[in-house]
Amino acid sequence: MRLTIFTAAAIALCASSSPAAAKKAPKPPAFELNGTTWTFMDPKQGIVEQSIDPQGKYISQTIDGKHLDHGTAVVKNGKACFTSAMTKDGEICWTTKPVNVGESMVTTSNKGQTLQETRVAYIQLSMPK
């Protein structure tokens, strides 16, 4: 079974000491998945890198460049949800939290899988030719 993960971006919050300014302050941005890259260990494939491009399309590959999976990714109700174009597993959603580049976290899927992943600098991956 392919492991599909998401990823996470830092949420910036603006604070104000003025009650009037607080009422007019915009909502903090929603969790942003697009434009992020993650690494994690797959027991069968080894180290995997997964990038989600700015349009919400993801590609997963080994660090040696072997294509593993691709599809679409969206954030729903604070979870990162992935739909593979290569399997019939349907949408798999993972818990999220703000993670900066270089930090790791443990995430859990709606199917009960847990995975430790690390956010790395964004890398634009491309489909194999």
- The answer as to CATH 1.10.10 being correct for domain 30-120 is no
Average pLDDT, the chain: 83
Beta-strand (E) ranges in the chain?
A: 36-42, 46-52, 57-62, 67-76, 79-84, 91-94, 104-108, 114-120
With 70 as the cut, is the pLDDT of residue 1 above it?
no
Using one digit for the tens of pLDDT, what is the confidence trace for 69-101? 999 999 999 999 999 999 999 999 999 988 899
Nearest to 110 by CA among 87, 76, 86: 76
| 67 contacts 127 by C-beta, under 8 angstroms | yes
pLDDT at position 23, please? 61
Give me the percent of the chain exceeding a pLDDT of 90: 67
Q: What is the pLDDT of residues 6-64, one digit of tens each?
A: 333 332 333 344 455 456 666 555 568 999 999 999 989 999 999 999 999 999 999 99
* pLDDT beyond 90 at 2: no
Report in angstroms the alpha-carbon separations of 91 from 26, 28, 38, 72, 81. Answer: 31, 26, 19, 9, 6
